[in-house]
Amino acid sequence: MRIQNPCAATNSVAGRFMLPLNFLGIYILYALALRLALTCRSWEQITHSPLRLTEIFGLGFFYDLMSGLYVLIPFTLYLLIVPQRVFDSRWNRWLVGLLLFAAIYGLGLASVAEWLFWDEFGTRFNFIVVDYLVYTHEVFGNIRESYPLTLLCSGLFMLTGGVYFAARNRLHRHLDCGKRTEERVVRRGFRVGAALLLLPVFFFFLVGNGITDSLPGRYEKELAENGLYQLFSAFRANSLDYETFYQTIDPAMATTGLRFMLDHDNGHFLHRQPMDTERLIATPGPEAKPNVVLVMMESMSAEFMAAFGNRDGLTPNLDHLAANGLLFANLYATGTRTVRGMEAVTLSIPPTPGRSIVKRPDNDNLFSMGFIFREKGYAATFLYGGYGYFDNMNSFFSNNGFDIVDRSALTLDEISFANIWGVCDEDIFHRAVRQFDQQARMGKPFLGYIMTTSNHRPYTYPTGRIDIPPGAGRAGGVKYADYAIGAFIAEAQNRPWFKNTLFVFVADHCAASAGREELPLHRYHIPAIIYQPGVVQPAQIDTLASQIDLVPTVLGMLRWSYRSKFFGRDIMRADFTPRALLGNYQKLGYLKDGRLTILNERKQLHQYRIVHAAINDTVVEEENPVDEKLRREAICYYEGASLLYKNNLYRRQ
């Protein structure tokens, strides 16, 4: 039967609220297209059975619906409060059309951003994006230097125009049919609008983030998620209280267990309180006081080095240092961000959930390597080629025992090349040498802590240094970073302080974090090298260890006695217990005895047996029941770290 009134079907459903309902349909189509593209991109990493694909896309549709309803809230509110006479006006037609065009364009931008983010991290939007949004200058500058932004934006604009043109007639029909409607239809429409607001409230309080836990692999879970939903969820999870979200034991038992695990290295606890881990590390023999230069290398995965089997010739200088120094071949980073590496090395503390301690407020006067070196009479300097306000570096280091030299301290004559992240590695190394010259002339031993930047997208650096052109990709970034390290050592060798200087090279984290498992071990494997010709005898240490153990190991080599609250221990001691602590902003891992124990933010604990571990892959099998001893040790480490930090017991006395 033919409907005489073209608005009758619309009015019978929702009146003016057909507008957001139509946009919801567009949103879900965009989300479906992105999920299809990411599934094709990750085809080799997922299970291809019809059941598994149905689960991915079924759960994905549910997440898309939820996030779409969240996105609709502002538009729905507008339609609920706007008077009928305003809704009927000509300018409202233009405003709604403009908003729809902008929303569709925003969906396109978000989809492209998610694709690029997935390419970099192998995940949907998460806590990393929240962290990056604080530093818009560096992040958007990095995007502008890494991708053809003008071409992308222009292409998206044309695509948006096509989608909008296809939807324009329907939009105008809904606007026309929303005018001067009958009172009963208006009331019916407002009920639909109220439902559009109540549904996201319902989802907010009753739906958690564990819906995809039934899926077996990490890639399957990520594909079923929705990026925008995960982004807003990450805002909520910016700070995670361990005791609220993770498995716990009695606090006294946690700290007693922690003290037991730390009761080595000839240490003697200085306080009887179970929650205080301060102890005196007594090392026999005369103390050595060489200069110490610690170079934290951006994104330098172990897999890039020939020492670990790479045959691409990317790191000849690091491989030379490894062959002529002390190479720690089984060391694991604590996290996947630079601030996590800084936290682990500087404070020797396990990763805590939520944001890194480096970025938290009230993180001054902590028990750091900077203060230990200062107490031994050293000048301590943190040197960074970028602007140190990024990731709160300047505030953290200046309040924990270091002087600061960042890009703002460099003169124009000292900068030969720079990109959005900072000056090239050669420039910051040149400045470091001049800094060390000055400190050596003062007759004071020095600690130099250098953070590099060049091995980072957009992978640009001075031309003519290596055989890979700038901007060509990660391999060029790695090879240039290695070149700069070689040039740094060559320059330092000509200085009188070189022979009395202990060099420590360690990565902040790996170049990628994606993998099949919740915490893919091969994405945490990093190199660490201690180098001092004629003093440190070449050797390879295969003991399983953590990034938090690096500084205690250096202090042990120097035969220092000192007060310690460090969680890390001297790897070289005979009573060292092999284990590693690693995580991301939510999951916390404990690697020991061939098993990986993982705590998550839903008070769950899973344990996996390592079936196969290679430099570029890890295969694990879940174990049930879990090893109770390993479960308690993992909780003692992480709950203990949380309790000490929360109760200000990780501060200097």
Q: Is residue 230 part of a domain?
A: yes
Is residue 220 domain-shared with residue 250, that is, in the same domain?
no
Pairing between β-strand 605-614 and β-strand 617-623 as defined by DSSP bridges: antiparallel
Task: Say if CB 292 and CB 554 are below 8 A apart.
Answer: yes
Q: Is residue 2 part of a domain?
A: no
Tally the domains of the chain: 2
Is residue 464 domain-shared with residue 535, that is, in the same domain?
yes
Task: Say if CB 470 and CB 478 are below 8 A apart.
Answer: no
Q: Is residue 107 part of a domain?
A: yes
Is residue 303 domain-shared with residue 429, that is, in the same domain?
yes
Task: Say if CB 617 and CB 231 are below 8 A apart.
Answer: no
Last residue of a domain, one of 186, 218, 236: 236
Q: Against a cut of 0.95, is the pTM above it?
A: no
Q: What is the pLDDT of residue 4?
A: 44
Is residue 68 domain-shared with residue 214, that is, in the same domain?
yes
Q: How far is CA 436 from CA 116, 446, 491, 532, in A?
A: 40, 7, 12, 16
Q: Is residue 3 part of a domain?
A: no
Is residue 161 domain-shared with residue 267, that is, in the same domain?
no
Distance of alpha carbon 507 from alpha carbon 333, whole angstroms: 8
**Helical (H) or strand (E) element with 470:** none
Side chain identity, residue 366: L
The number of beta carbons lying within 10 Å of the beta carbon of residue 552 is: 25
Is residue 265 domain-shared with residue 229, that is, in the same domain?
no
Q: What is the pLDDT of residue 11?
A: 43
Last residue of a domain, one of 236, 268, 292: 236
Q: How far is CA 568 from CA 298, 457, 463, 528, 545, in A?
A: 22, 31, 41, 15, 9
Q: What is the pLDDT of residue 180?
A: 47
Q: What is the pLDDT of residue 392?
A: 92
Domain ranges, residue 181: 8-236
Is residue 260 domain-shared with residue 408, that is, in the same domain?
yes
Q: What is the pLDDT of residue 284?
A: 87
Is residue 312 domain-shared with residue 168, that is, in the same domain?
no
8-state DSSP, 651: B
Is residue 287 domain-shared with residue 323, that is, in the same domain?
yes
Is residue 250 domain-shared with residue 230, that is, in the same domain?
no
Distance of alpha carbon 524 from alpha carbon 337, whole angstroms: 11
Q: Under 8 Å CB-to-CB from 162, ≥6 apart: which residues? A: none
**What is the mean pLDDT of each successive set of 10 residues along the chain, which is 653 residues long?**
44 60 86 93 86 91 90 84 77 81 86 84 75 62 77 86 76 58 55 81 72 78 86 67 88 91 79 83 92 98 96 97 98 95 97 88 93 97 95 95 97 95 97 97 96 94 96 96 98 98 97 77 96 97 98 97 95 95 91 95 90 80 93 96 89 84
Map residue 477 onto helix, strand or coil. helix
Q: What is the pLDDT of residue 238?
A: 60
Pairing between β-strand 605-614 and β-strand 379-384 as defined by DSSP bridges: unpaired
Q: Is residue 347 part of a domain?
A: yes
Q: What is the pLDDT of residue 3?
A: 40
Last residue of a domain, one of 192, 208, 236: 236
Q: Which contacts of 73-79 are long-range, i.e. CB under 8 A and separated by 24 or more positions?
A: 73/197, 73/200, 75/19, 75/20, 75/23, 75/99, 75/103, 76/17, 76/20, 76/193, 76/196, 76/197, 77/197, 79/16, 79/17, 79/19, 79/20, 79/193
Partners of 563 in the beta sheet? Answer: 280
Is residue 393 domain-shared with residue 474, that is, in the same domain?
yes
Distance of alpha carbon 392 from alpha carbon 471, whole angstroms: 27
Is residue 197 domain-shared with residue 297, that is, in the same domain?
no
Side chain identity, residue 239: S
Q: How far is CA 124 from CA 75, 118, 127, 474, in A?
A: 25, 6, 10, 21
Side chain identity, residue 151: L
8-state DSSP, 360: S
Q: Is residue 612 part of a domain?
A: yes
Q: Is the peptide bond between 316 and the residue preceding it cis, with omega within 30 degrees of 0? A: no
Q: Is the peptide bond between 74 and the residue preceding it cis, with omega within 30 degrees of 0? A: no
In b/e form, how buried is each residue of 199-212, taking b as 16+ CB within 10 angstroms? ebeebeeeeebeeb
CATH number at residue 349: 3.40.720.10
Q: Is residue 639 part of a domain?
A: yes
Q: What is the pLDDT of residue 289?
A: 97
Distance of alpha carbon 236 from alpha carbon 240, whole angstroms: 9
Q: Is residue 22 part of a domain?
A: yes
